[in-house]
Structure 1
């Protein structure tokens, strides 16, 4: 199954340093539950902190005691998330690192992907990709590089039907060792068919 991330988070050097330190500690403590905990950590950020910013402000506030913060965390998360993750968030509160929580979450996910032999690939296309196109991209990349791809998608209408793939600083296109020629053609043909079908539909109305 192809993994998809719609937006790639950019971290500054300080965030990367703190994120790396704590993310490694979390992964080491997670044991056999590591994938479950990494997934729950992302859910805590996206479904709780992003939607309830007052919670993050309270956990960062010097006016609220550590006991009050931990009690708040227990009321919200106890029995709902893994105990190791809950204790980890409490430790971040004690050390005044809640402001780095997002960086730690992003880094923990990236480190786990590396452990599993996965590669993040930025995919920029003229139109949003469909499932078949995602599958083609992931399969071609697996054949070419021998690793599972995690696609980070973005749309740029200025590409006029083309696609650009980036792995780190490397830009991949249809000329990359000849391995992605059919991929580029397949995606471009799909976009052209969609435009033609829409045009024909407008003419028939």
Structure 2
């Protein structure tokens, strides 16, 4: 069901409602931090995703686990939002709701998300240079980098901003050279 039209009809209204609440309480940054930490927990634990998405597990058990995970770290409104998702049997969409909330927050802050794939870990200076390049290309005020490692690149980086892809990797350069050689033959 994930990624379907039903998912979109559920995800967007909940994310927009959470953003509306965040704005009305002047807590968009705080909610954003909480959503980011929730996403981190969800993405690092497939067991948690399966537990929350399991229809056999009672709502009370899901709420108890979420309260344990939240501890005192989450804003009370975020915790209430999670409980509402459990009660309405929408908790299995939590990851997608969080991602949509982040997209809304980026739009609000005039921030663009750039996915950066590199062969090795990037230094702070390299990340800053990539941010500046993405700002120049996109015209955004701020840039949020989502870095991933792929040793198959050999060297260099691939930067994805929306539908634009900048391939400055050695693997990409070798592929382009190979295409030129094949077309010349």
TM-score (ref. length: structure 1):
0.65
Greater length-normalized contact order (CA 8 Å, ≥ 6 residues apart): 1
Corresponding position: 1:44 with 2:35 = no
- Structure showing greater radius of gyration is 1
Kindly provide the CA deviation profile for residues 96-137 of structure 1, in whole angstroms up to 9, marking residues without a partner as x: 011111111111112111111111112222322111110111
Answer whether contact 1:23 1:104 (CA < 8 A) is retained.
yes
1:48, CA displacement in angstroms? 7.3
Matched residue count:
165
Corresponding position: 1:12 with 2:6 = no
Q: What do you get for the CA RMSD once the two structures are aligned?
A: 3.2
Q: Select which of 9, 15, 21 maps to 1:23.
A: 15
Distance 1:127 1:22, change over 3 A: same
1:34, CA displacement in angstroms? 1.7
TM-score (ref. length: structure 2):
0.70
Distance 2:67 2:151 in 1: 46
| Structure 2 residue ranges without an equivalent (≥5) | 171-185
Q: Select which of 114, 117, 123 maps to 1:121.
A: 114
Q: Select which of 113, 126, 130 maps to 1:133.
A: 126
**Match for residue 94 of structure 2?**
101
| Structure 1 residue ranges without an equivalent (≥5) | 1-10, 174-183, 189-205
